[in-house]
Amino acid sequence: MTDSAVLKAAVFAAAFIALYIAHSVGDHWVQTSCQAATKGQPGWTGRLACGQHVITLTITKAIVLAPVVLVLHLPVTLLGLLTAFTVDAASHYWADRRTTLRRLADHCGKSEFYSLGMPHHPAHPATADGNYAPTLGTGAYALDQSWHILWLGVAALLIAAL
């Protein structure tokens, strides 16, 4: 492996780790409850909430990635960063509008898994008295997060390659 390839692999790894950390913080700590509850709604209310979430998430990723790049003296380009953040933001917005990711799950034969843990799933979580027991552990959440992680990998690759 050439020195250039080793360096690009190191940039990919460092960028991915930073983006992954920032994604978790931005998706769970920075996102407001209002954005989380509203971003999947139809119309401009949902679009605006989703857009605000994606903007704060992207800012979080930039804030977390910047010291990694600076401290480790990673050779990244403005083109690579802008392309990566744009692709990542667009993919995040697409999935977080919810109907789009649900349609993809339906198309891939993952409808039952998508609804796992929700009240309308035949095996939904229930309390001792038979009422719905809300949980973060839904199939929709798992598919959402795995989609985002896929695109974090693409973004890290773009940062390393461009």
Per the prediction, the chain carries an average pLDDT of: 91
DSSP-derived secondary structure for the chain: --HHHHHHHHHHHHHHHHHHHHHHHIIIIIS-HHHHHHTTSSHHHHHHHHHHHHHHHHHHHHHHHHHHHHHTT----HHHHHHHHHHHHHHHHHHHTSHHHHHHHHHTT-HHHHHTTSTTSTT--B-TTS-B---S--HHHHHHHHHHHHHHHHHHHHHHH-
Residues 90-102: pLDDT tens digits? 999 999 999 999 9
pLDDT at residue 124, rounded to an integer: 62
Residues 53-112: pLDDT tens digits? 999 999 999 999 999 999 999 999 999 999 999 999 999 999 999 999 999 999 999 988
What predicted TM-score, i.e. pTM, was given to this entire model? 0.88
Looking at the predicted structure, is the pLDDT value of residue 31 above 90?
A: yes
pLDDT at residue 159, rounded to an integer: 98
Domain with 147 in it? 3-161
33-42, 80-89, 98-107, 128-137: segment of lowest average pLDDT: 128-137
**Number of separate domains in the chain:** 1
pLDDT category at 21 given cuts 50, 70, 90 is very high
